[in-house]
Amino acid sequence: MSVKSHYKLVCENIKTAYKDAKRQDKEPVLAVVTKNFPLDDVMPLIEVGHKVFGENKVQEAEQKWAEIKKQKPDLELHLIGPLQTNKIKEALGLFDVIQTIDREKLADKIAEELKKAEYGDKKFFIQVNTGSEEQKAGILPKDADAFIDYCKKLGLNIVGLMCIPPVEDEPSPHFALLKKIAKKHSLKELSMGMSDDYEIAVQLGASLVRVGSAIMGSRA
């Protein structure tokens, strides 16, 4: 099956899960995760009009997307991997949405940089380490309330929360926890669900799912 037919299938599955859940809010957005795949492999999706894509590394995304984004300004690129403070300028120059705000120093430096230059409208998600995993990025759930307030006070346009549940866990409790924290802070966007669990995420209220391999194929 081609990338395009996988894509259509995933779109249908999202629609079905959304309808089955009888949600009253808007249909979830699909961010196609294209890390490790060249732009040539992505072009069929751009040609059918898909606009939202996710990448996890600044450098790789820059090489792949800088040029095509100039040609097609309505493409929307999301950073879904950890951001180092020395890559902030580059990231703000390229990405429309940064989903991985997870520490004060990073938030401080982004706010500082946004004051220095005109980057246009940017949206940010706070990444929550819902499984409190030591090696994983994201703010710990116990620190999330204070951190969300901190980022809002800095003036960052925080639109929602993002999580990556531990691989060995049932994802549902993590999605539910993310939703609970977001609700408490009136944050509308929930970035949750990947190839293996995006339908569950949609049932539990995801506003955006990040799907890579189910569309693009397995990454080498």
Task: Give residue 79's Cα distance to chain centre.
Answer: 6
**Strand residues in 50-171 grouped as ranges (E):** 52-55, 76-79, 97-101, 123-127, 158-162
Site for ligand PLP in 114-143 (CB under 6 A): none
Of the candidates 164, 178, 206, 208, which one interacts with ligand PLP according to CB under 6 A? 164
- Beta bridge mates, 53: 32, 77
- For 118, phi then psi, to 5°, come to -90, 105
Site for ligand PLP in 73-102 (CB under 6 A): 80-81
Tell me if 194 contacts ligand PLP by CB under 6 A: yes
Closest CB to ligand PLP among 127 and 203?
127
Of the candidates 18, 30, 56, 124, which one interacts with ligand PLP according to CB under 6 A? 56
Closest CB to ligand PLP among 55 and 107?
55
Q: How far is the CB of 14 from ligand PLP (least distance, A)?
A: 13
Type of residue at 141: P
Give burial (CB, 10 Å; 0-12/13-18/19+) of 167.
exposed
Site for ligand PLP in 31-50 (CB under 6 A): 33, 35
- Token pair in block for residue 53: 């894509």
- Token pair in block for residue 179: 């939703």
Nearest to 37 by CA among 9, 8, 13, 6: 6
Q: How far is the CB of 90 from ligand PLP (least distance, A)?
A: 18
Tell me if 212 contacts ligand PLP by CB under 6 A: yes
Binding site for ligand PLP (CB under 6 A): 33, 35, 56, 80-81, 164, 194-195, 210-214
